[in-house]
Amino acid sequence: MAIYLSDYLPDTDDDSLRQIVARGIDKGGKRPQPFQLIESDDISRLFKPRQPFSHKGTYGHALIIAGAEETMGAALISAKACLHAGAGLTSLSIPSSGLTALNTAMPEVMFLDRKSLQKIAGNDFKKYQAIAIGPGLGKDQKQLLNHILGVGMSIVIDADALNILAEDPKLLNKLPKNSILTPHMKEFDTLFGTHKTWWGRLQTAISKAKEYEIVIVLKNERTFIIGQNGTVSINPTGNPTMAQGGMGDALTGIITAFIAQGFNEKTAAILGVYFHGKSGDDLSADHNSLTASEVILQLSKTIKHHP
């Protein structure tokens, strides 16, 4: 039975959406199908289980730059997700007003003072294998975002960091190659212009991913991962019990953790989106709604027991 793109988009009245979606994602072929459905076998092929004689250094050091005085929860959720997705070390750069909350909630996460962060030079960021910025950051942190963009590493950009980019589109030209943008619909339209249809939005995402050589995670009921070559991977996991605040913050932390562990950016995005949704699926039979924290606590079990 054929699978069509219209099965995964709300705009089902457009004939252009009757495009075939390939089962399974590209395995390195020269001419990948433009629309691909992520399947369980793909995840088994891409994911690398932990090996004997490994240690915390094996699984990388992730830095998450997030939170403001009134939005510290977003930072904590993102860091918690990074921990449970398997990063060997996680550092969280937040205002010092959040230190007590961090030490109480997650003593495993290291604190990096925001003022100290702004003094770190480019080479000193090499200790981190992955960097994310944005959850709860505040829209007044343009100078900080500009500093991080100048590091030269690919970064995961979410939430307020996306809004800062939208306010100064010139910053888009500073995006390091292979960076990951993780917008929901409103953030995407703020960044790249208003769209009347999801088909139009998807076409813009494909164009921008190729133009800037980045990965775009376009969040929807069925999230799309658009790779640097414009190929669209469609995620089948996730469900309405996950329709609560904080899920995007969690996803940012999960993707960052997979980059820290050595997966390339597109693979990290695919694994992150898939396992985030699958964790919600595994809990949905017994829940009407789920918090981001509940999904995060399920995450490691879901990853471990994946076929």
Answer yes or no: is 18 within a domain. Answer: no
How would you classify residue 193: left for phi > 0, otherwise alpha for psi between -120 and 50, otherwise beta? left
Answer yes or no: is 191 within a domain. Answer: yes
Determine the Cα–Cα distance for residues 14 and 305; give it in Å rounded to an integer.
39
CATH classification at residue 249: 3.40.1190.20
Give the tens place of pLDDT for each residue, 246-263. 999 999 999 999 999 999
Answer yes or no: is 23 within a domain. Answer: no
Structural domain count of the chain: 1
Answer yes or no: is 2 within a domain. Answer: no
Torsion of the alpha carbons at 64, 67, 68 and 69, rounded to the nearest 10: -120
How large is the C-alpha radius of gyration of the chain?
A: 18
Torsion of the alpha carbons at 19, 21, 22 and 23, rounded to the nearest 10: -150
Answer yes or no: is 207 within a domain. Answer: yes
What residue numbers bound the domain in which 248 lies?
33-47+60-304
Answer yes or no: is 7 within a domain. Answer: no
Mean pLDDT of 75-88: 98
**Is the full-model pTM beyond 0.95?**
yes
Give the tens place of pLDDT for each residue, 117-176. 988 887 889 999 999 999 999 999 999 999 999 999 999 999 999 999 999 999 999 999
Answer yes or no: is 124 within a domain. Answer: yes
Determine the Cα–Cα distance for residues 26 and 35; give it in Å rounded to an integer.
10
What phi and psi values does residue 234 have, to the nearest 5 degrees?
Answer: -100, 125
Answer yes or no: is 279 within a domain. Answer: yes
